A and B are shown apart, each in its own frame.
Chain A
Amino acid sequence: MKLPSAAVVFLLGLALAGCYREKREFEAPPPGAAAAGAKATTVLAGGGPALEPGSVATPDRSDLDENAYAVNQGKRLFRWYNCNGCHAGGGGNMGPPLMDEKWLYGHEPADIHASIVEGRPKGMPAFGGRIPDDQVWQLVAYVRSMSGQLRKDVAPSRSDSLSGAPPENVRDNEKPVAASAAASR
């Protein structure tokens, strides 16, 4: 009876994975929980000084990597907040491509979170204090899906728009490698 029990374990695993994948989280972060504000860069969306950094430590929500709803929200926010303006649909333009294997500042969720919140040299604005932290984590999850880092059942499928690249859930996993800023130019 080995095959049936393996199948049961497999199905149970799928099922439990499904539990978290499908959760729709609507709770708001606590008030004052903005991520730490801008540090070194001078380019800020909006043009004014950043707000006071929040007093509450922001949690690590890299678990959103496994939540299809969060990744889908991240995809929407990527469009709404005009990340496409520099990164195009992941292919890169003024900003580096996000679909490939080269990561200038790290590919882990915490690294991408820092890139979005603190900004990066040569033009990545610091969105800390401007984009709420839970949305930043959603964007982090989506960005990771662009290079196929997420599980296929969590990554989003095609969007209801003109299609450029293949849907995120059929992209190959681009094994991340660290790249230097000089090499990327």
Chain B
Amino acid sequence: MTTARPKQPRLNSVPPTVEEIAALEGAWRDPPGVLGWLAAINHKAIGKRFIVTAFGFFVAGGLLAAAMRLQLAKPDNHLIGPDLYNQLFTMHGTTMMFLFAVPVMQAMSVYLVPLMIGSRSVAFPRMNAFAYWIFLFGGVMLYVAFALDIGPDAGWFAYVPLAGPDYSPGKRVDFWAQLITFTELSGLLEAVILVTTVFKLRAPGMTLNRIPLFVWGMLVTAFMVMFALPAVMLASTALITDRLVGTHFYNPAEGGDAILWQHLFWFFGHPEVYLIFIPGLGFMSSIIPTFARRPIFGYSAMVLSLIATAFLAFGLWVHHMFATNLPELGKSFFTAASMMIAIPSAVQIFCWIATLWTGKLVFKTPLLFVLAFFFVLVLGGMTGLMLAAVPINLQVHDTYFVVAHLHYVLIGGAVFPLFGAFYYWFPKMTGRMLSERLGRWNFWLFLIGFNVTFFPMHLLGLQGMPRRVYTYGAEMGWSGLNALASIGALTIAASMLLFVINVWRSLRSGALAGADPWGAGTLEWSTASPPPACNFAAIPVVAGRDPLWEPGAQPAHVGGLSVDSREVLITTVIEAAPETRESFPEPTVWPLISALATTVLFIGSIFTPWAIVWASVPVGIALTLWFWPRRHENAAHLALERAP
């Protein structure tokens, strides 16, 4: 039985012709319309909605914090009672840590990494979409629960026995624990995608030694995710079973242990803050070279520092438990590790300073945010060293000193670089420049507001103010500094409003950015702003770390990939030599449907263990239909195969 010979595929030439570019666009574009939006799998589309969603959660978390600061502005305040306040700080911490900080970094990398490494896609585009939907549905579940008074109220860290069945009745903590399941599933999938993308989809010639430091940072982060997140998934699952079916993991009377929770949670929890911090370092290493007009100093040292930080980050977790009755000598080992991790970070900081020192500086908004890092993060790092010492920790643990420290390192180390990254890559993502003037106002209000809010908290902690208190007495003498912190919080809110206004106005009428408004050196700046659906009309061949600054020898681009279908070049892990070609899938709604089915399973299992059985059926069906091969896709892929 003979079938008609499949049409010969069109392959791109170098340089690509206009017809080839148009065909590529058609092949890689997501379908139009609402269904197309739901079925989108282009990494830029998923990346943008991921970033916007994470930023939405940032704003929500900020509003929660503003409510808390309003309550704490005065002593003996009756604005918010203890029940609502407990929910507020739990929601604030949970939102910022699980729904903003890690996801936004993964979102930025989903958008940027393929562009930086010269690829047309991430490694598993449909799984990428599925991870986004899972993240979104988990966050929506949490906020709907909060709106219905079922929001968690045992802290973002949910220590047992307080979060256990006996002291947190109802379903509040169960929604928190299940949010963990959602966000950790999403995070793990994104990590797998990132590692595979970075290892296998790089442009030819982009050896591991030449990938941008941001990509190194995200690679290292992804590995950390894969080792850290299972710990908290295990912990939260054990908590769910304790609460739902009466297991005794955390019940000391029946052989369980309250400290087990702390170990499992902090084994995740400490690497978690590095999951947030290391991408921030990646942003720094992207912005500084561009605005110092030179490559970064000490590339190898920077890479080794990132890797060292990632390893060391797994050896610090007990410093969150110094006040428990673990052996004192053992605690001192964690003091040593907590101090040691400062060394690779110090290497990075000194290399950046050296780069700035020997460069020609361009003082635009992204650089301002980067410079703020040196003040804010380093101060936070100093208080971190103080906290690393067990005796000092025993005084300031669980006080506002720690609140100050964590905000200095997380906001200084991640959020300031993130805003720098927003200002840096917004032109690439949207084709428009953000206003420099509004950007400076945004920056200074944020920096000043941040310090006014959080610096007094160091003093409050030393003066004895514990964390997680819904109010305090006028007699304690904490009123003045609290009022000051609340004013600072309002200033931060104002700066965020300016940012939103800046984005809004720029989207409508901002100056058009070209492909490379900053004169940068990495590959994403070689394509249009915003990039076409296929990212690059022809995949570049790379010969240096900053390809746009060091043009290499011929040939400069890859030819011979299909322009009619989604064909991707796979290269080797270390040398990025071309290895094989792979045909990537078309847009499909099955990731969305699978995510919906998974959501029903997760939410159902909050109420009954049988949900795991019954709700698995739709999940199984959805996944099967997702992976079921499509005849026309198969035919197209076969047509691309060559005879040897």
User: Do A and B interact directly, with beta carbons closer than 8 Å?
Assistant: yes
A residues lining the B interface (CB < 8 Å): 7, 14-16, 18-19, 21-24, 26, 68-69, 71-72, 75, 152-154, 156-163, 166-167, 169-170
| Residue B244 is within 8 A (CB to CB) of chain A in the complex | yes
> Contact partner of A160 among B150, B252, B600, CB < 8 A?
B252
Cβ-closest chain B residue relative to A11:
B603
A69-B170, A170-B245 are known contacts. Are A15 and B608 too (CB-CB below 8 A)? Answer: no
Restricting to B573-625, which residues have a CB under 8 Å from any CB of A?
600, 607-608
Q: A22-B150, A161-B253 are in contact. Are A167 and B165 (CB under 8 A)?
A: yes
Contact A18:B169 (CB < 8 A) given known A157-B243, A160-B164, A166-B246 = no
User: Looking at chain A's contact residues, is the secondary structure mostly helix, strand, loop, or mixed?
Assistant: loop
* Known contacts A68-B169, A69-B170; A22 and B161 CB within 8 A of each other: no
- Tell me if A22 and B172 are in contact (CB < 8 A): yes
Inter-chain contact total with CB atoms closer than 8 Å: 86
Contact present for B170 and A22 (CB under 8 Å) = yes
* B78–chain A nearest beta-carbon distance, Å: 13
Indicate with 1 or 0, residue by residue over B293-310, a CB within 8 angstroms of chain A CB atoms: 000000000000000000
* B170: chain A residues within 8 A (beta carbon): 21-22, 68-69, 72, 153-154
* Given known A-B contacts A72-B169, A159-B165, A15 and B253 have beta carbons under 8 A apart: no
* A68, B165: Cα distance in complex, Å: 11
Residue-by-residue, is B327-351 near A (CB-CB < 8 Å gives 1, otherwise 0)?
0000000000000000000000000
Complex A-B: 28 CB contacts under 8 Å: A15-B144, A18-B145, A18-B148, A18-B171, A21-B150, A22-B148, A22-B150, A22-B171, A22-B172, A23-B149, A68-B170, A69-B169, A71-B169, A153-B607, A154-B170, A156-B166, A157-B244, A157-B246, A158-B166, A158-B242, A158-B246, A160-B166, A160-B253, A161-B251, A162-B254, A163-B253, A167-B245, A170-B246
Instruction: Give B22 Cβ to nearest chain A Cβ, in Å.
Output: 39
Instruction: Give Cα A166–Cα B170 distance, bound, in whole angstroms.
Output: 18
Determine the residue in chain B with the shortest Cβ distance to A69.
B169
Within the complex, the shortest CB–CB distance from B462 to chain A, in Å, comes to 33
Residues in B208-258 with C-beta less than 8 Å from chain A: 242-248, 251-254
Chain B residues lying within 8 Å of A7, measured Cβ to Cβ, are: 600
Kindly list 9 other residue pairs between chains A and B, CB separation below 8 angstroms, not including A18-B149, A159-B165: A19-B148, A22-B170, A71-B169, A154-B170, A159-B166, A160-B164, A163-B246, A167-B245, A170-B245
> How far, in Å, is B249 (CB) from chain A's closest CB?
11
Residues of chain A with a CB closer than 8 A to B169's CB: 68-69, 71-72, 156
CB-based nearest A residue for B243: A157
Within 8 Å CB of A154, what residues of B? 170
Chain A residues contacting B81 (CB-CB under 8 Å) are 26
* Known A-B contacts A22-B171, A160-B251, A162-B254; A15 and B148 likewise in contact (beta carbons under 8 Å): yes
Q: Does B475 contact A (CB under 8 A)?
A: no
The binding surface of chain B is classed by DSSP as: loop
Alpha-carbon distance between A119 and B412 when the two chains are bound, in angstroms:
65
Q: Which residues of B contact A22 (CB under 8 A)?
A: 148-150, 170-172
Which residues of chain B are near A68, meaning CB under 8 Å?
169-171
Q: Closest chain B residue to A71 by CB distance?
A: B169
Chain B residues within an 8 Å CB radius of A169 = 244, 246
Name A72's closest neighbour in chain B (CB-CB). B169
A163 and B608 contacting across the interface, CB-CB below 8 Å: no
Cβ-based interface call for B19 (8 A): no
Please state if A163 and B165 are interface contacts (CB–CB under 8 Å): no
- The 3 A-B pairs of least Cβ separation, nearest first, read A157-B165, A72-B169, A68-B170
Q: State whether the Cβ of B641 lies closer than 8 Å to any Cβ in chain A.
A: no
- B164 contacts across to A, CB distance below 8 A: 160
Contacts of A153 in B (CB 8 A): 170-171, 607
Scoring B residues 164 to 182 as 1 if CB is less than 8 Å from chain A, else 0, what string do you get? 1111011110000000000
With a cutoff of 8 Å between Cβ atoms, the chain B residues found around residue A71 in the complex are 169
Q: Which residues of the other chain, A, contact B254 by a CB distance below 8 angstroms?
A: 162-163
Least Cβ–Cβ distance between A2 and chain B, in angstroms: 16
Most buried by B among A16, A19, A167: A167
Collect the chain A residues with CB atoms within 8 Å of residue B245's CB.
157, 167, 170
Given contacts A15-B148, A19-B149, A22-B149, contact A163 B248 (CB under 8 A): yes
State the CA gap A159–B169 with chains docked (Å).
Answer: 11
Q: How far is the CA of A66 from the CA of B165 in the complex (A)?
A: 17
Which residues of A sit under 8 angstroms from B243, Cβ to Cβ? Answer: 157
A15 surroundings in chain B (CB, below 8 A)? 144, 148
CA distance A26 to B83 in the complex (A): 10
Query: Which residues of chain B from 86 to 139 have a CB within 8 Å of any chain A CB?
Result: none
Separation in Å of the A7 CB from the closest CB of chain B? 8
Given the complex, which residues of B lie within 8 Å of A158, measured CB to CB? 165-166, 242, 246-248, 251
Q: Output the nearest chain B residue to A68 by Cβ-Cβ distance.
A: B170
Q: Please report the C-alpha to C-alpha distance between residue A80 and residue B314 in the assembled complex, in whole angstroms.
A: 43
List B contacts of A72 (CB < 8 A): 166, 169-170
Bound together, the chains give a CA A154 to CA B172 distance in angstroms of 12
CB neighbours of A156 from chain B (8 A): 165-166, 169
Closest to A21 in B: B170
Q: In the complex, how many angstroms separate the beta carbon of A153 from the nearest chain B beta carbon?
A: 6
Residue of B nearest to A73 (CB): B169
Known interface pairs A18-B171, A69-B169, A152-B608; A167-B150 also in contact (CB < 8 Å): no
- Cα-based distance from A15 to B144 in the complex (angstroms): 9
Tell me, in angstroms, the Cα distance from A160 to B250 when the chains sit together.
8
With the chains together, A72 CA to B161 CA distance in Å?
14
Most buried by B among A18, A71, A153: A18
Closest residue to A159 on the B side, CB-wise?
A: B166
In the complex, which residue of chain A has the Cβ closest to the Cβ of B165?
A: A157
- Bound-complex Cα distance A14 to B254 (A): 33
Cα separation A15 to B170 with both chains bound (whole Å)? 13
Taking CB atoms, residues of chain B closer than 8 Å to A16 are 148
* Chain A positions within 8 Å of B161 at CB level: 160
Cα distance A69–B171 when bound, in Å?
A: 10
